[in-house]
A and B are shown apart, each in its own frame.
Chain A
């Protein structure tokens, strides 16, 4: 099937500063794509290019098979939701929703019908006659989504829409956006720096850095098989534990040596066949480590001392030290550990991630 959005060799520079570099991306019809990255990685810039709010320096953008590289934002068949809501303060919610339709010269009856339909979907019907100033943050963002909805666009662009909301509302609206996507099944591109939003919403996540896409894959793949050390560190909280060491091979079995300890890598699925031996990073997520009795049964085991305990209710995060190294482990919420306790942790190397020392790409 033809992709809904296709970006070919896109580049954008401000003077000598290259913000996007030769970027290629295809987004399928009805797909929910999340652009994830730390600030300054070019994710919002990419979204603005797709929306037509920034003129590109090179490359092409296709939306619904149509070349829209030079088209005005309003002619691209998109709806956009902004971080600061960007509601017109002097208009009522109904006025905000109908502004774009009036500009498009739609007949009055149809405008009204579309506004009412969008308001019904978003449950903002009682708010239609209010001004944005009289709305709460969540209501404002819902109205802003409504403004994108009435356009009947095939593509929705979200620019960090939940970043201005408090934690509770953010979780609620996140669910609503997901439900909206399931109901409408339009193509959605969603920019965020929040990995939880990315993991929960996305069909596919594009991790960006320095104007390029590092990895484009499903949340599951990104979490379990990060393509590079950067991605592995970026996704997951607390961040992945890394051991610096050497990869050795003897008769087809691989072993990893770190800090005077050597263990077998039985069960680890290498990315591109058996790699050459050499310096490497060994990464294991805090939630893939076990402690106590389970640790005894693990193929690899470390003993250390608890340095810090962060009880979260559902889980307890424990930071512990082995020698001069600090690691995180995620334990059960009922675990009773205290600062200074001796702790024994173990893990299965099959769940680990190996990265080349120099290229930092997955082995």
Chain B
């Protein structure tokens, strides 16, 4: 609808006289000059207004949404840099008068949860110890699952896949207690290994679906060519499929890292206080009922906990886009 005015303006008046003027050929809208060959009227690139109704709507919405999401972050950062006396004044939007990093230090190394008084650092390292094996294990198993389901149709593979997908829709809560019993029986209850196994299993349905669909979109002929070339199950997986699938591995990694890092339920159920992941420990710091509520420490602790998924998004977001772009070139 923004197009109509421009189109009509120039073309209403035609000037049939041919003038020779090399630099006039590209101009239009000026009644006296007509081009070398071109008739007067719209020519060349279509002019676009910078301040059109469409742009105002789009950028206006974007700005409002940005503010909506950035404001809480701003309050958190500002509060975490203030001392308690300043916070008690109540101006939550005001920037800190006296910047202090003490709340950050306390959140990381000194805050007490139960008997431990070494802050979030313990939880951080627990979370890392949970995260790395869980992510590697779940992606490794799920990618092989997806590859087998997509390319090596075996008897009952469709049924197997259907069961796996149904598994994705069963609420976790139903399985909590049975898993507690199972872990206890094999002697892994309350250990990090047990939690890693739980995370790996619960990541399986969605990751397998992800990988299966991706591998299914890889041209079937590539797989056939590799078979003619004498490559077996693992050779095709490692030498053909995996090198082609960087984008989907990055997607799976983002999903798993954020999912496992942010997990609270499994962490609190399947481990014990010494091994609590960062999220559980954050909760224990923020919700401690004794003493004064130290808002600045709570804010710092929360930001610290959210830092890992945030970093992952920033780093792999770029890689992710690049991976997709590289994969888009038809090979």
Contacts and interface: CB of A to CB of B under 8 A. Distances in A.
A90 B244 contact: yes
A99 B224 contact: no
Interface stretch (B53-61, B229-237, B266-274, B275-283): B229-237
B222 A86 contact: yes
A84 interface: yes
Given A82-B221, A103-B235, A133-B330, A88 B228 contact: no
Given A74-B228, A82-B224, A99-B231, A88 B329 contact: no
Interface in B208-241: 219, 221-222, 224-231, 235, 239-240
B90 interface: no
Interface in A51-104: 51-53, 72-75, 78-80, 82-84, 86-90, 99-100, 103-104
Given A88-B240, A89-B331, A132-B331, A100 B229 contact: yes
Nearest to A144: B225
A254 B255 CA distance: 80
A147 interface: yes
Contacts of A86: 219, 221-222, 224-225
19 contacts: A48-B224, A51-B224, A51-B228, A75-B230, A80-B225, A82-B221, A82-B224, A86-B221, A86-B225, A87-B331, A88-B226, A89-B331, A90-B243, A99-B226, A100-B231, A104-B230, A132-B331, A133-B330, A133-B331
B221 A83 contact: yes
Given A90-B244, A132-B331, A100 B222 contact: no
Given A87-B331, A133-B329, A78 B219 contact: no
Interface string A304-348: 000000000000000000000000000000000000000000000
Interface residues of B, number: 19
Contacts, number: 71
B219 A99 contact: no
Interface in B55-80: none
Interface string A262-281: 00000000000000000000
Contacts of B240: 88
Interface of B: 219, 221-222, 224-231, 235, 239-240, 243-244, 329-331
A122 to B, nearest CB: 17
A90 B231 CA distance: 16
Contacts of B230: 72-75, 100, 103-104
Nearest to A137: B330
A158 B86 CA distance: 79
Contacts of A78: 228
Given A73-B228, A84-B219, A89 B244 contact: yes
B225 A103 contact: no
A73, A104, A133, most chain B CB atoms within 10 A = A73
Contacts of B329: 89, 133
Contacts of B222: 84, 86, 88
B330 to A, nearest CB: 7
A74 B243 contact: no
A159 B219 CA distance: 14
Contacts of B229: 74, 99-100, 103, 147
Contacts of B224: 48, 51, 53, 73, 80, 82, 86
A236 to B, nearest CB: 31
A133 B329 CA distance: 7
A78 B230 CA distance: 11
Contacts of A87: 225, 331
Contacts of B227: 52-53, 72-74
Nearest to B331: A89
Nearest to B218: A89
Ranked nearest first, the 4 interchain pairs of A and B with the lowest CB-CB distance are A89-B331, A74-B230, A100-B229, A103-B230
Contacts of B231: 74, 99-100, 103
A78 B219 CA distance: 21
A360 B239 CA distance: 53
A133 B328 CA distance: 10
Contact of B221 (A72, A79, A84, A100): A84
Nearest to B229: A100
A125 to B, nearest CB: 21
A75 B226 CA distance: 13
A48 B239 CA distance: 23
Nearest to B246: A90
A185 B235 CA distance: 32
A62 B28 CA distance: 75
A83 B221 CA distance: 8
Contacts of A88: 222, 225-226, 239-240, 331
A87 B331 CA distance: 7
Given A73-B230, A84-B219, 4 more contacts: A88-B240, A89-B244, A99-B229, A103-B230
Contacts of A74: 227-231
Nearest to B330: A133
B244 to A, nearest CB: 6
Interface string A129-169: 00111000000000000010000000000010000000000
Contacts of B228: 51, 53, 73-74, 78-80, 100
A53 B225 CA distance: 9
A89 to B, nearest CB: 3
Nearest to A133: B329
A312 to B, nearest CB: 33
B219, B224, B225, B227, most chain A CB atoms within 10 A = B225
B221, B222, B226, most chain A CB atoms within 10 A = B221
A160 B221 CA distance: 12
Contacts of A51: 224, 228
Interface in A238-284: none
Contacts of B235: 103
A144 to B, nearest CB: 8
A149 B225 CA distance: 13
A51, A103, A147, most chain B CB atoms within 10 A = A103
Contact of B225 (A52, A131, A147): A147
Nearest to A89: B331
